[in-house]
Amino acid sequence: MSDQQKQGIIKSFVHNELVSVLTTQPINRFLDYKVPFGGLIQGSFVEVPLGPRKVIGVVWGPGQGGYDPKKIRSISNILEIAPMHPEMQEFLTRVGRYTLTSLNAMLRLATRAPGLGDPPSMRKVYALGDAIIDRMTPAREKVLATLKNTTDMRFTAHELKEEAGVSLSVIKGLVAQNAIIELETPRDTPYPNLDPFYPSKKLTSAQMTASKKLRSFVAMQSYNTTLLRGVTGSGKTEVYLEAVAECLSQGRQALVLIPEIALTVEFLDRVEKRFGKQPAQWHSGVTMTEKRRCWRMVGAGQAQIVIGARSSLFLPFDNLGLIVVDEEHDTSYKQEDGVLYSARDMAVMRASISGGSVVLASATPSLETWANAQAGKYNRIDLTERFGAALMPDMATIDMREQLMGTNSWISSDLGREIDVRLERSEQSLLFLNRRGYAPITVCRKCGEQIGCDHCDARMVEHRFQGHLMCHQCGETKKMPEECPSCKEVGSLSAVGPGVERLAEEAEKRFPDAKISVLSSDMLMSAKALKQRISAIAAGEADIIIGTQLVAKGHNFPLLTLVGVIDSDLALMGGDLRAAERTFQLMRQVAGRAGRSDKKGIAYLQTHQPDHPVIKAILNGDEEEFWQAEANQRLAAGMPPFGRLAGIVLKGPDITQVFNLANHMVRNAPMLDAIGAEIYGPAPAPIARVRDNHRVRILVKAPKEVTIQGALAQWRDSVQIPRDIHISIDIDPQTFY
Ligand code: ADP
Ligand code: ZN
């Protein structure tokens, strides 16, 4: 019996008692079932009959009654996995309420591991037997030596073959003689033990002070959140791994969220260096078998650390003591389809339920987090200096209004000269352009037609490496046409504007002797291959790196001393709520790639508006001043984090029908008036058509003190939504297209 059962927090149910079961089916209610022979406890994962099928669900609590007891069926099967904790039930309930998502959909999010209904499966592993071998060969010796040298008997035939470097028949031969024996063990094995006292790096005194504070917060074993703000290269990772160590030594589990799966391999290595072994991982690049193992072992308390993407927040941790959100400002923490949640905010919610700590780490925190620290809701720890001899890079603008630019060229002569200097000194330069592909626009020189997507109001982007045009909204691709689709002129289509591929072309012409390497998020590579590529570049394989947003995130390039931002105005153009904040974060993150060893770096921003307040703030580096100014503006406008915002998108194939419904909703919203909310719109969304659906936006703004979810749900449920119209409500929207 667990502690919680003893304390009576977890209810037990006896044979034939009624329980309510939550399934992952889209039915939006609980279903009553009878408890099978032997009884069960709240949270048990079960298989229940539903119509002709059997589906998986969780025993949520006592039955609700109200049905004809004779018609109520029995639970068919109790699954052999750890029951869901009451904490997890509460977490799913609260996230569902916050994001206006049904509990069934929340449960789907929390059970996204394959084969949960399957019994624990077995696999064959090999160990030394005691028979004497009739004839020893070098290959046989290798196998026996491999098995002798291992403490954990976990080699499958395939692994043994690889490790010993022999053929399968050698192994079979040994088995036939009983020299080695086959054993059956569970497929989902516990993760290796991680050692919080493993000898690790010596921290600097600033890092030591910071890590002691963090450790003391974790040691409290009750809810708290800390902003760990440290300039790029200050050793934030080293510091929060100390918090992880504290958590492990208490016997609790830790989750580290990272924003980019391309970074996981590097990160796993860092964990191994600190704790002696590799931790569990959970993200889209992990195999199904590994996902299944991770999900089960996390639930059984046999995975101490998980490195994961945002969805790992919904793993069934047995005893979660710490969540680290690395690069907490990163936009990838917001899930933009399905359940619209912010993993950063929900991490805080989860820790507040499980009585754990949260560390939000960033060089350029989000305004929300900064404001929460200002208000005293979060602790704040600052690391102001880079580790070792590394200095923060200088920053300067290049005024593009004064540069003579040739046609189809984007590297100014000032920037070009700086790159020449780096090439002479064998140092690296990074050119940053946040545009994938070859060119953002393809236009007909004769009639002016721009090639657009057939299904979206978006231009097709040329990807020359892959030899096609691609819609970045829906992913549709087509071949570059020979003739203009409108006027039929042959050979008249030409590329307008730069993407990274085109920038690489310019760089190859301008610096013919330099080795140039492109790093873009659409490169079709495995995480491992990408990591190898990045390591090779970091080791000096390229002289000039050309990259999109991917390079801004956390990679270390020790030889890099120059960063050139090709178009600093690009990010400012969006004009939405967060354009200034995003530009500030991105530019400072990118600049932070430079000068990470003993050579000082510099970042140049090419811009047409060197006097823009955001560009000036980026240059003078007074971050507190920037955030304060941003905060003041948001406060004056009643915008987040000082007010509440919800973005509503209605979409459907018939534009009139979509607009009619939107207008009807806006005119009939007494529940929103009642809480003092303001409604803006309806208006066509900035991208007004995606995948043949017309999109209309409404924005709801409300004072900070009110809870808007109740009113929004009532409002949504008060209208009859036609079958082919889809409505989504995004609480705390991050994007506005
Ligand atoms: P941040 O996350 O703040 O950008 P990192 O933790 O990645 O910084 O540290 C930057 C680099 O400096 C890494 O290569 C890291 O291993 C190294 N480093 C930081 N602190 C130490 C230390 N105390 N001893 C040795 N290396 C360190
Ligand atoms: Zn499209």
* Confidence band, pLDDT 50/70/90 cuts, at residue 389: confident
Are the CB atoms for 47 and 54 separated by under 8 Å?
Answer: yes
Measure 442 CA to ligand 2 centroid, in angstroms.
15
CATH code for position 220: 3.40.50.300
Boundary residue ending a domain (153, 186, 219):
186
Last residue of a domain, one of 318, 348, 383: 383
Q: Identify the pLDDT of residue 6.
A: 47
pLDDT of residue 685: 86
Higher-confidence residue: 2 or 252? 252
What is the token pair recorded at 674?
Answer: 């009642």
379 CA distance to ligand 1 middle (Å)? 22
Choose which residue among 236, 237, 392 to substitute to test ligand 1 binding: the one with the highest number of ligand atoms within 8 A of its C-beta.
237
pLDDT at 554: 64
Which residues fall within 8 angstroms of residue 7, CB to CB, at 6 or more apart? none
* 681 and 555 inside one domain: no
Helix (H, G, I), strand (E, B) or coil at 698: strand
Taking the CA of 469 as reference, the closest ligand is 2
Give the model confidence (pLDDT) of 294-303 as tens digits: 999 999 999 9
Distance, CA of 294 to CA of 300 (rounded, Å): 10
d(CA 422, CA 431): 13
Please count the structural domains in the chain: 5
* pLDDT given at position 4: 54
Answer yes or no: is pLDDT of 537 > 50. Answer: yes
For residues 334 and 312, give the distance between their C-alpha atoms in angstroms, rounded to a whole number. 13
* Residue 420: CB atoms within 10 Å: 14
Q: How far is CA 340 from CA 41, 310, 346, 578, in A?
A: 31, 12, 11, 18
What pTM was estimated for this model as a whole? 0.86
| Range of weakest confidence among 22-36, 501-515, 611-625 | 611-625
In this prediction, residues 391-396 reach a mean pLDDT of 84
Q: Quick one: which atom of ligand 1 is closest to the CA of 234?
A: 3
Q: What is the DSSP letter of 310?
A: G
My answer on whether 370 and 403 are in the same domain is no
**For residue 701, what is the domain's CATH number?**
3.30.70.600
Alpha-carbon gap, residue 15 to 78, rounded angstroms: 13
- Distance CA(685)–CA(96), nearest Å, equals 26
Predicted confidence at residue 586, as pLDDT, reads 83
Identify whether residues 725 and 610 lie together within a single domain: no
509 in a structural domain:
yes
How is residue 192 annotated by DSSP? P
Question: Please, how many CA atoms are within 13 Å of residue 164, restricted to the half-sphere of its CB?
Answer: 27
Which of the two residues, 554 and 430, has the higher pLDDT score? Answer: 430
* Mutate-to-test residue for ligand 1 from 238, 364, 553, highest number of ligand atoms within 8 A of CB: 238
Q: Are strands 726-731 and 643-652 parallel, antiparallel or unpaired?
A: antiparallel
- Domain with 649, as residue range(s), is 643-731
Written as six digits, the tokens of 246 are 């504290």
Residue 455, domain member (yes or no): no
Burial of 455 (0-12, 13-18, 19+ CB in 10 A): middle
Which atom of ligand 1 lies nearest, measured to the CA of 230?
3
Q: How far is 156 from 188, CA to CA, in rounded Å?
A: 13
Query: Is the pLDDT assigned to residue 204 strictly greater than 80?
Result: yes
> Looking at residue 205, what is its pLDDT?
94
Answer yes or no: do 180 and 269 share one domain: no
| Distance separating alpha carbons of residues 618 and 612, to the nearest angstrom | 10
Give the model's pLDDT for residue 551: 76
> Are 306 and 294 spatial neighbours (Cβ–Cβ below 8 Å)?
yes
The residue with greater pLDDT, 576 or 734, is 734
Average pLDDT of the chain? Answer: 89
In a shared domain, residues 44 and 71: yes
pLDDT band at 141 (very low <50, low <70, confident <90, very high): confident
Q: Which protein residue has the closest C-alpha to ligand 1 atom 25?
A: 201
Q: Grade residue 532 by pLDDT with cuts at 50, 70 and 90.
A: confident
Least reliable range by pLDDT among 464-478, 492-506, 521-535, 579-593 = 521-535
Q: State how far the Cα of 698 lies from the Cα of 687, in Å rounded to an integer.
A: 14
Note whether 577 and 707 are same-domain residues.
no
On whether residue 474 sits in a domain, the answer given is no
Mean pLDDT of 124-138: 81
Shared domain for 608 and 695, answered yes or no, is no
Say whether both 314 and 225 belong to one domain.
yes
Instruction: Give me the pLDDT at residue 523, please.
Output: 63
- Using the predicted structure, report yes or no on whether residue 585 has a pLDDT greater than 90: no
Rounded to 10 deg, the angle between the 343-354 and 86-99 helix axes is 140
Please write the tens of the pLDDT for every residue from 486-520.
899 998 998 988 999 999 999 999 999 999 999 87
User: 221 and 253 in contact (C-beta within 8 Å)?
Assistant: no
Residues contacting residue 208 through CB under 8 Å, at least 6 positions apart: none
> What confidence score (pLDDT) does residue 681 get?
85
Q: What pLDDT score does 57 carry? A: 95
Q: Give 236 Cα–ligand 1 centroid separation in angstroms.
A: 7
Residue ID of nearest Cα to ligand 1 atom 6: 235
Question: Are 365 and 502 part of one and the same domain?
Answer: no
**Higher-confidence residue: 121 or 137?**
137
pLDDT digits (tens, 9 = 90+) for 399-449: 999 988 888 899 999 999 999 999 999 999 999 998 888 998 899 988 988
Tens digit of each residue's pLDDT (9 = 90 or more) over 146-178 = 888 776 657 788 888 888 888 888 888 888 888
Q: Are residues 532 and 601 in the same domain?
A: yes
Taking the centre of ligand 2 as the mean of its atom positions, its distance from the CA of residue 709, in whole angstroms, is: 32
What would the DSSP string read from start to end of 512-577?
TTS-EEEE-TT----HHHHHHHHHHHHTTS-SEEEE-GGGGSS---TTEEEEEES-TTTGGGG-ST
Same domain? For 661 and 518 the reply is no
Do residues 419 and 514 share a domain?
yes
Closest by CA to 191, choosing from 303, 273, 80, is 303
Model confidence over 220-255: pLDDT tens digits? 999 999 999 998 889 999 999 999 999 999 999 999
591: Cα within 13 Å, side-chain hemisphere: 26
Residue 7 has pLDDT above 60, yes or no: no
Q: Is residue 492 part of a domain?
A: no
In this model, does residue 690 exceed pLDDT 70? Answer: yes
208 φ, ψ to 5°?
A: -65, -45
Instruction: Indicate the SS3 state at residue 702.
Output: strand
Q: What DSSP string runs through 385-430?
A: S-STT--PPEEEEEEGGGS---TT--S-HHHHHHHHHHHHTT-EEE
**Which residue's alpha carbon is at the smallest distance from atom 24 of ligand 1?**
201
Ligand 1 contacts (CB < 6 A) are: 201-204, 207, 230, 232-238, 387, 556
Beta strands in 194-279 (DSSP E): 224-230, 253-257
Specify the pLDDT at position 1: 43
**Sign of the torsion formed by the C-alpha atoms of 423, 589, 335 and 737:** negative
Q: Is residue 440 part of a domain?
A: no
Q: Is residue 694 part of a domain?
A: yes
Question: How far is ligand 2, taken at its centre, from the CA of residue 521, in Å?
Answer: 19
Largest CA distance in the chain: 90
Per-residue pLDDT band at 359 (split at 50, 70, 90): very high
Express the helix, strand and coil content of the chain in percent, nearest 5 each. 35, 25, 40
Integer CA distances (angstroms), 176 to 167, 171, 179, 466, in order? 15, 9, 8, 52
What are the residues whose beta carbons fall under 8 Å from the beta carbon of 199, sequence distance 6 or more?
none
| CA 232 to ligand 1: nearest atom | 4
Residue 595 has pLDDT above 80, yes or no: no
Q: Which whole-number Å values give the CA distances from 463 to 93, 382, 442, 521, in the listed order?
A: 44, 42, 11, 13
Q: How far is the CA of 197 from the centre of ligand 2 (A)?
A: 53
Mean pLDDT of 48-64: 93
Domain membership flag for residue 210: yes
Q: Is residue 453 part of a domain?
A: no
Q: Read off the amino acid at residue 87.
A: E
* Pairing between β-strand 31-34 and β-strand 18-23 as defined by DSSP bridges: antiparallel
Q: Domain boundary residue among 67, 87, 110? A: 110
